[in-house]
Chain A
Amino acid sequence: MINEDRVKELYYLAVYESTSEKTHKQVNEYYVGDYVWKEVLKSFFSGTFAFAGIVCLWAMNNMDVLLDRLNTMDIFETATIVVAIYIAFMAVYIFATVLVYVSRFGKGRKNMRGYVEHLKNINRMYNREEKLKR
């Protein structure tokens, strides 16, 4: 006969495994600090590309001015301004990354705990059945 309680528990496990396991798998593999640092590292590259894109758009918009002033431009001063804006942009980008991924880690940990509870329940059920068989 079908054990309804066990089916319910197995359903929870299957739902978690099919939807959230991939997303929250890393939660089990990393400490919060390592997990966030890993994401910050990824964000460093993606943020740099995003900034390059924005600079590219700005350059497209001001191409005439740039070409006119190319010979007279103080390269060092321009580079300093660009780097300062880049640092400010990256600070915001990385701060957002930390906020998002700390929150995601917390959510993943909570879901993982729920999953483990269901896993324990299943284990108890199997143990009980084994004892009854003996």
Chain B
Amino acid sequence: MTKLLELKDKYTKIFATYEIYITSVLKFILALVTLLLIRGNIGYMSKISSLPVTIIIALLGALLPINAMIWIFALVLLLDLYALSIEVAATAFVLLAVIYFIYFRFTPKDGVAAILTPVCFRLGIPYVVPVGTGLLGGAFSAISVACGTVLFFFLDGVKQNASVLTSTADADTISTKLNVTVGQLLGNKEMYMVLAVMVITTVLVYVIRRLKADYAWSFAIVVGIVTQMVGLIVGYIILGVAGKIVMLVVGSVISLLIGFVIQFMFMNLDYARTERVQFEDDEYYYYVKAVPKKMVASEKKTVKHFGNTGSMGKRIEKTKNTEKDDYISNKIIAEELDIDEDVLK
């Protein structure tokens, strides 16, 4: 544990020193992973989804704010879907507009949660997002999680129905394409179920972690993961998709571990050393509970001196030595070393 705390301290210092560069690198990684997932799943426009263009866009994303990155991702999505079918692109445009009017109106600063939700869904660990946003964000972060969830299910549905959606266009096909594209979203019971569980979990984690109880964060993480597991297992059984339960359990365990890593990084308290103090001023009486953070004393460097070090660290004036000064210094050194002064001449 002490070693971990030392490492955390070390990395925090490094992050503080090179914050600008590290933030840009992290943004680049986030943008690259997102774009690679878009490319791998719905990269229908070869020009925009080619690897060099993906890397260039990711580099651009590293220099821009998160919300600008969201605009870029939306544009890439629309272009890819346009290459698949104009009807799908039109539906995606309307859906993104609805998300825009909800997301940007209420939680414009939760861009990371909005991006990470579909990304984590694709990586198989979406359960970490409600826990993470509940711990680090506010209750309204649930809106970002909801927007990300809807977007994921839409894109996943498009990917699964890609063969139907690429067929040639005539009046009947257009109608079918619209039915398939919108129907797989609006008629997706699994999406509504997952959406409800994720929103409830986000709010629950937020409420629990704000409690004044000891170990509130740990409790919030465990309750968040258990709520999702129970809610989704029940939902999957009702919907008859029990095959997803194994991945759900694996993803939940990974999410639990990530949740504790988040806690370690942002709220690592030592409840064993809790102090309760009471004091008063003219107007109030205060009951204060102070919980110290787990910290390690910074490593002290010991410098070992060998030999006579009485004059070490003393400032030596850089003046032109006169013959007299030389004589005096020689005399002192000879005395110090207990040797004959003539040896130094």
A→B interface (CB under 8 Å): 42-43, 46-47, 49-50, 53-54, 56-58, 60-61, 63-64, 96-97, 99-100
Contacts and interface: CB of A to CB of B under 8 A. Distances in A.
Contacts of A46: 101, 105
B169 to A, nearest CB: 15
Interface in B58-112: 90-91, 94-95, 97-98, 101-102, 105-106
B106 A53 contact: no
Interface string B172-211: 0001001101110111000000000000000000000000
Contacts of A58: 182, 186
Contacts of B182: 57-58, 60-61
List 5 tightest A-B contacts by C-beta distance, closest first: A50-B101, A61-B182, A53-B98, A60-B178, A46-B101
Contacts of B175: 63-64
Nearest to A96: B106
Contacts of A43: 105
B236 interface: no
Contacts of A54: 98
B140 interface: yes
B91 A49 contact: no
Nearest to A49: B101
Contacts of A63: 175, 178-179
A90 to B, nearest CB: 12
A40 B42 CA distance: 38
A61 B178 contact: yes
A60 B91 contact: yes
A52 to B, nearest CB: 9
Contacts of A99: 140
A47 B102 CA distance: 8
B140 A53 contact: no
Q: Determine which residue in A56, A58, A60 has the highest number of CB atoms from chain B within 10 A of its CB, and name it.
A: A60
Given A46-B101, A49-B101, A50-B98, A57 B186 contact: yes
B178 A53 contact: no
Given A50-B97, A60-B91, A61-B186, 4 more contacts: A57-B95, A60-B90, A61-B187, A99-B140
